[in-house]
């Protein structure tokens, strides 16, 4: 029989696991007291540890009990199947071992001097009868490693001070290194939300190679589980985390799940490697899969291809614009499909494949089969070149559902959107946000032609779950980028950069610059400075002068780039990506930046008197270049977890997500630069291509280290790891620790 034991403050209930989970009353478990631990003892006995003693339940229903002496009670316990340790009030330890007949024999006691905060016994190594060590955590912010060898029973081997009280302890045998050699790890969950991991030396009990990770604001509670046949650990703080080994590397990954109070392994025929846990007032059973993935994703089907997405800061909803070429609008497509379906039904329902007439039941079954076919299986009707379908969708990311969909009419396609505040006016508040959408009518891609370009302005309803069209302004070209700018709308209309104000019947153009080479694809702004990404000519920096309402280009890139995405890093630095898979960072030097800010014309005079032979009077410097190998579709500077460092996150057209992490110290730059150099020699690419040539495919790689290549260090053989570490004046464990520290800065 398999049980789930649930302990309450003053009682215990036992649930049996079968086809269903039901409560049982004849399990032999003492149900009038809370249970501290419930585990299998030997091969067939159950051990219940409660505050007043131990209860051994044999397979033949015999029960043996051990009571605590005097008025003492059990506060902590640890069991590994053959060894049992309990801590009594006052700090007294009692140690038991399994004897003949599944009886527990008390072998020793030890007074620790103060109360015990946590307790752990290691698993029994293969081929042995007992674990060698027990770890005791005290309220004096220390942990002690005690020997369980009969010759030195409960003798202290190691004492280590901690920055906070150890709330929970766990000892696991986990694979480590390229050969997946088992090592003994001690995990320490502290009350300050930090998880500390050490290597426990099996020969002398010393604690080696300590590593720390902040998990949350609550004390960390640890629970052992099984994941894909290997031991793993769930660490529960303000959110749950999973510690496991995958592809010769140890991971500590947050789980996309509610906060957990407790967890334990759950095994059944339907769920061989599950976890039973408590979240709030509910008992839940879950499984852990997709190891090695850092991101959790949920899919929401869309009508058309998503083009742009913005987040509403007031409602935290997502506004997505979608458009598809050679497609019918949603209503027209449904009408066409209904008409085609009626014609097909009339033909198909008349006869079977062999020519015999169908019965009424067979006709109904055929109708249901046709209705089950979706667009993903059948495809969609093709409308022809120059025909577009587009919509604006508002999505609640918390609930994962669509709140509203607004279809665009008149063969318009949406390509850009933003939220903009126009300030206080006659019929609006000063904090009201409007949705601006850039559209184009009757667009043909090759040869490029269109009828008109528009900027649609929408107003939200009170719940901000739907939009209403205020007015539509014709702008003369395709608007591929727009952003809010000083309570105005800054839009890239074709090769023109324009500033619009809100009017009663349309947007009012207030300023314009027509000097851009091809077409504006990205826009960012900070203060009076605008950062423009040209479709074929990389980054341009523009200065806006309020006095004369003029936009002046004062700096641009030397190298032409076909821009697909950009991100503003600081006042003088912009990150960009092009359609050939290159990511770069361009910066205006501090001397030139100060000179531009002091120039009352914003660089206009320098351009007028021809200080540059081509383009803008000043040039940006490429301080970083790296070939990703896939076309980048978006760049963002974000912190992936609360309290984490800001990173440059990019996504690619094939669905990959990557991160560029800035180094914080010069010594880290030198260390990982040398590690990358050695890894190029020790772990060349499988296709035989030179790694340096690949990362420099279009531009020479500059000031960027390939983290994916460095991460392969843990998969090398031990002698090759040792050779590389020696060249780096380090050890393999220190190199692995450096890599883990960089990962922990992100997640």
Concatenated DSSP letters of 457-483: EEEE-TTSSSEEEEEEEE-SS-EEEEE
Min mean pLDDT across 154-163, 325-334, 617-626 is at: 325-334
Whose CA is closest to 653, among 630, 627, 636?
Answer: 630
In this prediction, residues 706-728 reach a mean pLDDT of 91
Within the chain, how many helices (H) and strands (E) appear?
Answer: 10, 50
Per the rule left: phi > 0, alpha: psi between -120 and 50, beta: everything else, 413 is beta
Distance CA 736, CA 713 (A): 8
CA distances from 526 to 310, 483, 484, 497, 543 (A): 18, 11, 11, 16, 10
CA pair distance 302, 323, nearest whole angstrom: 10
- Cα 728 from chain centroid (whole Å): 32
Over residues 281-288, mean pLDDT: 87
Domains of the chain: 43-260 (2.130.10.10), 303-352+381-514 (2.130.10.10), 663-746 (1.10.150.910)
Residue 193 has which token pair?
Answer: 């939300």
Place 426 in a pLDDT band, splitting at 50, 70 and 90: confident
**Are 55 and 65 in contact, with CB atoms under 8 Å apart?**
yes
For residue 565 the two structure tokens come to 């995405």
Residue 2's pLDDT is what?
76
Q: Are 242 and 234 in contact (CB under 8 A)?
A: yes
Residue 613 is predicted with a pLDDT of: 53
The span from the CA of 209 to the CA of 494, in Å, is 58
Cα 735 from chain centroid (whole Å):
25
Mean pLDDT on 570-593? 95
Q: Tell me how far the alpha carbon of residue 201 is from its chain's centroid.
A: 34
Asked if residue 499 has a cis previous peptide bond (ω within 30° of 0), the answer is no
Higher pLDDT, residue 295 or 53:
53
Q: What does pLDDT average to over the chain?
A: 88
Calpha distance 457→489 (Å, rounded): 11
Residue closest to 720 by CA, chosen among 177, 201, 185: 177
What pLDDT is recorded for position 187?
A: 95
Q: What angle do CA 280, 397, 241 make, to 5 degrees?
A: 45
Among 43-52, 74-83, 172-181, 478-487, the range scoring the smallest mean pLDDT is 172-181
Question: Does residue 551 contact residue 513 with C-beta atoms inside 8 Å?
Answer: yes
pLDDT of residue 376: 58
**Which of 306, 456, 471, 444 lies closest to 388, judged by CA?**
444
CB within 8 Å of 647: residues ≥ 6 apart: 637, 638, 639, 640, 659, 660, 661, 662, 746
Which tokens go with 587?
Answer: 């910066």
Residue 736: CB partners within 8 Å, gap ≥ 6?
713, 714
State pTM to two decimals.
0.81
Q: Is 176 within 8 Å of 183 (Cβ atoms)?
A: yes
Span 28-55, average pLDDT = 89
For residues 96 and 107, the answer to whether their CB atoms sit within 8 Å is yes
Which residues, listed in sequence order, are joined to residue 420 by a DSSP beta bridge?
A: 434
């Amino acid at each position: 029989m398999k049980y789930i034991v649930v302990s309450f403050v003053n009682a215990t209930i036992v649930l049996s696991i079968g086809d269903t989970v039901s409560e049982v009353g004849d399990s032999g478990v003492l149900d009038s007291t809370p249970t501290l631990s419930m585990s299998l003892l030997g091969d067939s006995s159950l051990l219940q540890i409660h505050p007043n003693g131990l209860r051994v339940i044999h397979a033949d229903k015999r029960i043996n009990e051990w009571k605590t002496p005097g008025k003492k009670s059990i506060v902590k316990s640890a069991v590994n199947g053959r060894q049992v340790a309990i801590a009594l009030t006052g700090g007294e330890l009692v140690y038991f071992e399994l004897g003949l007949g599944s009886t527990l024999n008390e072998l020793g006691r030890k007074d620790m001097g103060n109360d015990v905060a946590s307790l752990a016994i290691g698993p029994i190594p293969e081929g042995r009868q007992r674990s060698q060590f027990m770890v005791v955590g005290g309220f004096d912010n220390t942990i002690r490693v005690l020997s369980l060898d009969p010759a030195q029973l409960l003798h202290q081997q190691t004492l280590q001070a901690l920055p906070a009280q150890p709330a929970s302890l766990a000892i696991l045998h986990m694979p480590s290194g390229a050969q997946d050699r088992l090592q003994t790890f001690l995990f320490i969950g502290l009350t300050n939300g930090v998880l500390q991991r050490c290597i426990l030396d099996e020969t002398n009990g010393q604690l080696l190679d300590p590593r720390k990770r902040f998990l949350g604001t609550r004390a960390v509670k640890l629970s052992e589980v099984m994941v894909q046949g290997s031991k793993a650990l769930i660490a529960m703080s303000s959110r749950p985390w999973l510690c496991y080994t995958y592809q010769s590397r140890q991971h500590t990954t947050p789980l996309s799940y509610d906060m957990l109070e407790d967890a334990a392994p759950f095994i059944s025929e339907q769920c061989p490697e599950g976890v039973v846990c408590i979240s709030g007032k509910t008992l839940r059973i879950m499984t852990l899969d997709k190891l090695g993935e850092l991101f959790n994703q949920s899919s929401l089907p869309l009508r058309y291809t998503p083009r742009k997405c913005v987040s509403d800061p007031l409602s935290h909803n997502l506004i997505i614009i979608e458009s598809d070429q050679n497609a019918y609008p949603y209503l027209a497509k449904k009408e066409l499909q209904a008409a085609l379906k009626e014609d097909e039904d009339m033909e198909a329902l008349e006869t079977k494949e062999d020519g015999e007439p169908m019965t009424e039941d067979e006709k109904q079954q055929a109708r249901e089969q046709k209705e089950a076919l979706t667009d993903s299986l059948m495809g969609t009707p093709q409308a022809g070149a120059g025909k577009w379908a587009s919509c604006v969708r508002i999505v609640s990311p918390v609930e994962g559902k669509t709140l509203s969909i607004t279809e665009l009419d008149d063969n318009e396609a949406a390509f850009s959107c933003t939220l903009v505040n126009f300030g206080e006016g006659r019929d609006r508040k000063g904090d009201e946000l409007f949705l601006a959408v850039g559209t184009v009518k009757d667009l043909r891609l090759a040869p490029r032609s269109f009828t008109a370009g528009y900027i649609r302005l929408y107003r939200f309803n009170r719940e901000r779950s739907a939009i209403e069209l205020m007015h539509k302004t014709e702008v003369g070209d395709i608007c591929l980028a727009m952003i809010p700018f000083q309570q105005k709308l800054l839009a890239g209309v074709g090769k023109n950069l324009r500033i619009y104000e809100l009017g009663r019947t349309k947007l009012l153009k207030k300023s314009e610059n027509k000097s851009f080479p091809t077409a504006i694809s990205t826009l960012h702004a900070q203060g009076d400075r605008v950062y423009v990404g040209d479709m074929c000519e990389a980054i341009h920096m523009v200065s806006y002068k309020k006095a004369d309402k003029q936009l002046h280009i004062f700096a641009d890139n030397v190298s032409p780039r076909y821009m697909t995405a950009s991100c503003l890093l600081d006042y003088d630095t912009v990150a960009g990506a092009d359609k050939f898979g290159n990511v770069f960072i361009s910066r205006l030097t501090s001397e030139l930046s100060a000179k531009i800010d002091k120039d009352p014309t914003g660089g206009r005079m320098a351009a007028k008197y021809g200080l540059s032979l081509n383009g803008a009077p000043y040039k940006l410097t490429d301080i970083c270049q790296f070939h990703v190998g896939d076309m980048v579709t978006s760049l963002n500077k974000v912190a992936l977890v609360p309290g984490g460092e800001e990173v440059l996150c990019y996504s690619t057209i094939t669905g990959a997500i990557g991160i560029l992490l800035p180094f914080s110290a010069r010594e880290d730059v030198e260390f990982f630069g040398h590690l990358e150099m050695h890894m190029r020699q020790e772990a060349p690419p499988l296709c035989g291509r030179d790694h340096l040539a690949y990362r420099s495919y279009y531009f020479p790689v500059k000031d960027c280290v390939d983290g994916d290549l460095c991460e392969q260090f843990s998969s090398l053989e031990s002698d090759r790891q040792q050779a590389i570490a020696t060249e780096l004046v380090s050890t393999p464990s220190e190199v692995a620790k450096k890599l883990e520290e960089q990962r922990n800065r992100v997640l």
